[in-house]
Structure 1
Amino acid sequence: MTGRIRATGTTRRPSRDPDLPQTRRKQRNTMSTTTVRTSDRGASGTRTAPSVFAQTLRLTRTEFTLFVRYQTAWLYLLMPMVLFVPLMSMPSAPAFGDYTTTDLSIAAALLGIGLMLGIGHASNVFAARRESLVLKRLRVSGVPRAAIFGGVTLLVLLFTLLLTALVVAVISAMNGTTPADPVLLGVAVLLCTTAMTFVGLLITSLVRNAESAQMFSTLPMLFLLMTGGIFFPLELMPGPVGAVAGLLPVAPAAEMAQAAYTGYDVFGGFEGAEAVGTLELWTASLPSIAVMLVWIVILALAVGRFFKWDPRRP
């Protein structure tokens, strides 16, 4: 009897969903196999939950693996390079010292890297994961929201800083100019990229799938590029418009980048800007840093309040 059962018994493997696209199946399997363990057994036999920071680092490694495989992510990574083409060909005029208006535009355009990557990649990839129920499985497995959002934020920051350093090195080789305060420039990039990643996460709550996220995300991208002082200096805008644009989450960071690159206090405008020391430059940057921090807190609270974990129904 036992022999007959062994001879006739078969083991059926569960079939994969044929409707699931290949890329999303890979993403789902990768995220599932690398889901952070909610508990580890200690020496005393009790279970201790890993810290949020440790889970965030694990998810960041997973995000890196998925980024390398995701072709759309590479598109958002290379797209900011297009910004520098028209800036290089724009008419240039002396601004102050040895710097021209083109130099100031290029310094502000460095923030466009984090702007495009943060808004485009975060909204696209989270919409795709929500549609394939990856986000819901992560939440059910006990992964905190801070780790899920922190993983993609750290990844965007990593690639943005690397690409910014590459662009600065190329500009330095071409023009022989280097940032007067690289640390302040890095802080400006960090603050702007973090805020833009949260904007991308908020967009996910408004769209149904990854395709609609790609189309919808271009609107805030263009709006923030036009009002952030990258293509048009705030001084050229009408008074009320320039005042409002100066409070949006790009213009303060753009002024920080221009000040860090030139070593001039440009926070009151280009006219009459003076070269200052490092301490004076950081002191003048404090209001812009405060505005960016306020925006990051507001956007983080909005993401925690309005983010949708379940797929949106028609």
Structure 2
Amino acid sequence: MNSLAMQHMKTLFGIEWKLFNRIKSNYIFVVLLPVMLLMAMQFVQEQMKLDEHGLDAGPLMVSTACGILLIFSLYSSVTGLYVARREELVLKRLRTGEVSDPVILAGGASMYIAVCVVQIVAVSALLSLMFGAVPQQPLAALGGLVTGILLMTAMAAATAALCRTVESVLVATLPAVFVLPMISGIYIPREVLPQALGDALMFAPLSPTVDLMRSGWTGELALGAGLARGILAIAWTALFAWIAMRRFRWEPRT
């Protein structure tokens, strides 16, 4: 990315930050969601018999929390952002200048990406302290975070293509919000499912990210397995990016 693109990214980040900062209630969501997650993780740990399945609660809670934050803080927010800016003709005006399409989308999402990263780092650190978990493969966790961000941003752009208005965002994101956590090992660890089903769900879109994040604390993935999970995540990202490039609308439907 050249210096001009970086400048455009910085400018778009600043604009979105100012708009976000104008509505102080946004900070309630930023703080409240991680707090609710921490409380929920503690409750889940007390209710689920993870030891019977050979699962370490700490790494599992970290990967679960990270997956939830990627979906709710990043995917849902960025989908709504793209549709809102399209309806406001912001995207159309930006395209008349020298800003490239990928920079417009990445720059618009950059503020929410930053918020999501801060939330994930804070929650992961607190859960590690709560459960006495120590990261074993920091690079795997970093790989999971990066692939998750890329995947959720690409998926948000693809989903925004389906939305006619801001009001339709809630309906369009429902499948990912409800189904994705169920099939990606976020709500239900694959180890507690029948083996055939668990093996099949390894190929779900967000499963590689969850696996890499958990391996960051358990060290369970060897180098080859970690690379394979990363490649699968990139493949899903490329698919959603391709859909977005073909279907994304830059101005309101008439």
Q: Aligned residue for 1:92? A: 49
Q: Aligned residue for 2:123? A: 167
Q: Aligned residue for 1:132? A: 88
Please state how far the C-alpha of 1:206 moved relative to its aligned partner.
1.0
CA distance in 2, matches of 1:296, 1:75: 30
Q: Secondary structure at the match of 1:217?
A: helix
Q: Deviations over 1:271-297 (max 9, x none)?
A: xxxxxxxxxx33330110010111112
Higher RCO (C-alpha under 8 Å, 6+ residues apart): 2
2:20 corresponds, among 49, 67, 72, to: 67
Contact 1:126 1:204 in 2 (8 A): yes
Closer, same or farther: CA 75–237 of 1 in aligned 2, 3 Å: farther
Please state how far the C-alpha of 1:69 moved relative to its aligned partner.
2.8
Find runs of 4+ consecutive structure 1 residues off by over 6 angstroms. none
Contact 1:253 1:292 in 2 (8 A): yes
**Structure 2: where are the runs of 5+ without partners?**
none
CA distance in 2, matches of 1:73, 1:150: 21
Q: Aligned residue for 2:212? A: 256
TM-score (norm 2): 0.85
Q: Which is higher, the Rg of structure 1 or of structure 2? A: 1
Q: Aligned residue for 1:30? A: none
Q: Aligned residue for 1:305? A: 246
CA distance in 1, matches of 2:14, 2:71: 22
Please state how far the C-alpha of 1:171 moved relative to its aligned partner.
1.9
Question: If each structure's helix is expressed as a fraction of its own residues, which one has the higher value?
Answer: 2
Please state how far the C-alpha of 1:300 moved relative to its aligned partner.
1.5
Contact 1:249 1:292 in 2 (8 A): yes
The one-letter amino acid paired with 1:69 is R
Closer, same or farther: CA 241–176 of 1 in aligned 2, 3 Å: closer
Please state how far the C-alpha of 1:241 moved relative to its aligned partner.
3.8
Please state how far the C-alpha of 1:50 moved relative to its aligned partner.
6.3
Between 178-187 and 77-86, the greater mean CA deviation after superposition: 77-86
Percent pairwise identity: 23
Q: Secondary structure at the match of 1:106?
A: helix
Please state how far the C-alpha of 1:257 moved relative to its aligned partner.
1.1
Please state how far the C-alpha of 1:185 moved relative to its aligned partner.
0.9
TM-score (norm 1): 0.70
2:74 corresponds, among 105, 118, 121, to: 118
**Structure 1: where are the runs of 5+ without partners?**
1-48, 266-280
Closer, same or farther: CA 72–210 of 1 in aligned 2, 3 Å: farther
Spell out the pairing of 1:20-59 with structure 2 (5 A cutoff): 51-59=4-12
Please state how far the C-alpha of 1:116 moved relative to its aligned partner.
1.5
Contact 2:34 2:119 in 1 (8 A): no
Q: Deviations over 1:41-90 (max 9, x none)?
A: xxxxxxxx963233223212222222323568557644465444333212
Q: Deviations over 1:176-200 (max 9, x none)?
A: 3232222321220121122112111
Size of the aligned set, in residue pairs, is 248
Contact 1:115 1:193 in 2 (8 A): no
